Structure 1
Amino acid sequence: MIVEDESSIRNRLAAMIPWEEHGIDIVALCENGMEALRMIERTKPDIVILDIRMPEMDGLSLARAIRRLDRRMKMIILSGYGDFEYARDAMESGVLKYLIKPASNDEILHAVLEGKTLLRKEMEEQHSHEALKLKWLEHLPRLQDMFFNNWITGAYSDWEIERRSKELMIRLEGKRLFSLVIMETDPLLEGEERFSDLDSALLQFSLRSIAGETITENQGGLFQDLNGSTVVLFQSAENETEGDFQLRVHFSATKVLSTFKECLKVTASAGISRVIAEKRNIPEIYHQAKAAILKRVIYGHDIAIPFNEEQQPGETVQAASITGNNLEIGIEVGDPVKSAAAIDELLENSIEKATSVDEVQVHVLYLFHTLLRIIHNKNWSIREVVGEDFHYFQHSLSLQSKEQIRICMHRIVRRMTSYALKRNQSGGHKMIQEILNLIEQEIGQELNLYGIADRFFVNKSYLSRLFKHEVGESFSQYVLKRKMIRAKRLLLEGAQVQNAAQQVGYTNVGFFSKVFHKYWGILPSEMKPS
């Protein structure tokens, strides 16, 4: 890039020096510093020739700005001023050469070629074998994670596993046994103050770090799967029996969980696969470990669970009958003791008696269905009632232990009971007050019960009864009264009949006059301004 405010010099530099013969391209010609900065962003030059004295931004200011943008860019000052201070300031700004006008074409070309040589040397150093190796090692953990995640999904054949593992510096011995462990942090207990659900990624990272520090001997690989779980692939030592290998895997997993609990005062659990001898079966034992860790919903938290076939093909899970009548009554009357006892009874007859993961999950779905039915029957807003627990209505199977299910159910039932109690005490007045305010604001529009019910997400029959109970008259009677009172006031203030009709929502003046006469016993035209 050439930056020179005198067009004759700028054009001479571009046209009279044989740049192309030396592998140099002119990417831009600029007449001032501001234009140069804009073009630098677009053209990304390697070398900039610039004048000192230019309008808008002088050459030294431009040099300092370029230095901040890209320290590798080489700058050559071409100026008619030989003052030492200019030269010193230029060198401090990272300028490679300071040439005094009128510098010859050869001098300028020589300076540019010197910059080119220096750039090539810096690039060669940057992309040297050692530098590339350092970058490779920097990205290696991520590449290894990608390899393992592809492997557990069955994406590789045997020869690909061998080749890619060697490329990524993963030691997989020949004839060895393998077992896989999945580790996950347990759900935080109610009352936990040091961590929240927002810290789940931090806790999972801590678990992986502790696993990496604890498990070192004959480790096949440690990685994070696409669910964020910590996964450890163990391989047996030479001449290690299957029994000894299995025990070592169990003890290692337990050691990680114990260390995690000791350091962070929260718990984690692990699922442990069976032992296999073929690398191609790694996807199978990954699914075994996933199935094993799901069983913490049965056995609780802070546990390493080995995989064991629990259900034979064709075996089905039956959910206990969950009616929730006592629960609905307890919530409706706002009795926290009665509703708590009712949810305990439902939990005892379903979740507590479950003996398999599938059975627990079916019962959880039924329980949430019961709570949803109660909320729907009351015409309540589910988000307003349950607050942050709305997440579990969308992801009920994320509850990972009987204790977590019990705590969650009790918390939701307490919220529902408290909500019902507040509504019983207020008689639904808050919503009715909002509707009354809405009528006043929109008195000039057509208002009907169907539209209002839709806007407040309740059914028409319920709103009709509630409105009459709270206000003492039907919705249509109240709206008519408010319109006629507003119209009478407008007419008394001097409004024309047509204008008054429009302001209370009547487009047909004749019909408005009939309604007004029927309500007040006098025609609107007979109203005299006060």
Structure 2
Amino acid sequence: MKLVLVDDERIVIEHIIGLVPWEKYGYEIVATATNGKSALRICEEKRPQIVIVDIRMPVMDGLQLIQAVSEKQLGIKFIVLSAYEDFSFARQAISLGGVSSYLVKHEIDSDKLLQELNKAKSAWEMDEKQRRMLKNEYIKNLVTGMEHNPSVYEIHGMKPPFGLVLIQKDSPFSAGHLTAAQAEPSNTAKWIWDIAKLCSDNEHWQLFGEFSVHEAQVVLLFSQRNKVSGLMREQLRELLSPIHSHLFHAYNRTFSVFYTFPTIDPAALHTSFHQVTEAARHAVFCGREALACAGDLPLPIESASTFGRSIRFDELNESLEQQNIQMMETAVKELFSRICTPKWDLRGLFDLINGLTILVNEPAAKNGIAESDPFDIQVYNPVYQIDDLIDRFTHLLCGRISQMNETSQLSNKMMKALRYIHEHYHEEISIEDVTFAIGISPSYLHQLFKKELDRTFLDYVTEYRIQQAKRILRQEDAKISEVAARIGYRSPQHFTQVFKRVTGILPHQYREVGSRQ
């Protein structure tokens, strides 16, 4: 906590400095002054939390200093020094506000000074918490477009130009929905505090405030301190780079940082906010640990996609028919290239992934066997960027040929049984239901399952249901009871027991693991 000592008698200042081991108790004397005018300038530059000030001084006395600081809304707490005969002035100072207490000069000792310092510190922290909450609420409303009178920004001390920054925890890409990052339980206040400490002494940019978008994203608003420099953008990036590194080492996970600059008009901050949130939504295009200016990214002007309307897999289908792996790899890369240039096309990416997933599972769909999920976290590593998606689908399409060879060995009766299970797994089906539908006996179907799939009928139904449950848990925010009902379990408790037996973890744990990886 920063302090300034103000007294026209140098001997008094030296006496106070010698009373307390300041560092030991978390205090730092950043400056001293012998009159109020010099002290006011120091307060504006150093922004101390506490000022110990004498009442009687030349040029500008203590009362005038307290009044000037109060008008500038610097949030400083004062400990007033006075002689016995100045007691009436001390009472007047207290009435001005911002005064924590007063001390009689000739009665100051170490214990008394520490007591009053801690009292001032507590008062400052309480006020600062309230000020910060109000300021951050105002900033959130201004940045998100809820504040319709941005001209009032001056009363909050905001001065352009501004830099707007969004920091996002990197989360695996999910093919289930158009989200940027999956929210997860987290103490965002802790890493906001870390960021604030790293920014506090930057000579070019001041952290003016912040707010959480959700548990995985924080938005920071910076105001430039040094208005004469022409390297504002570079200086902002230099400030963000160590923050980026610190978060990785402190929390053992990666973060991405997107920023916009410069913004002169506070009314334009809403546009900047849209830019950084769009950049975060398109994080899969730039990958993990991004540190990028949103204005430099090829973000779409409109959200509509034309890719899905014209998507064609002719070359890819031909490569699969010819079993030409090199041709297939080229075709996959070309398809992904189309949704990356000239602008990033997120909706087109989802259309492409859905189409490729259907293509990967086409042999399974035709033959009635369980389909594979390219994003199953218990089978595959998490995906974070386009290159990961290219590798994933190249690998799966290579496996499609061998899968075709395996499924061709299944009997016609078995494929009919599997198709029936896939169509009715959400119902209370029994082996008798399946055998009645396909025209064979239950005992014969039992034999087919053991011979051709090396598992029982119940094992297969359970595995298929759990596979569908995992897909729902990854892609949707459905309640566990709803998931259970949708895959054929009347009891959520029974579903939970079965899920843990098959996967080794509970349903809610599976969902949490997917969001953290």
TM-score, normalised relative to structure 2: 0.44
Higher relative contact order (CA 8 A, sep 6+): 2
- Flag the structure with larger Rg: 1
TM-score, normalised relative to structure 1: 0.43
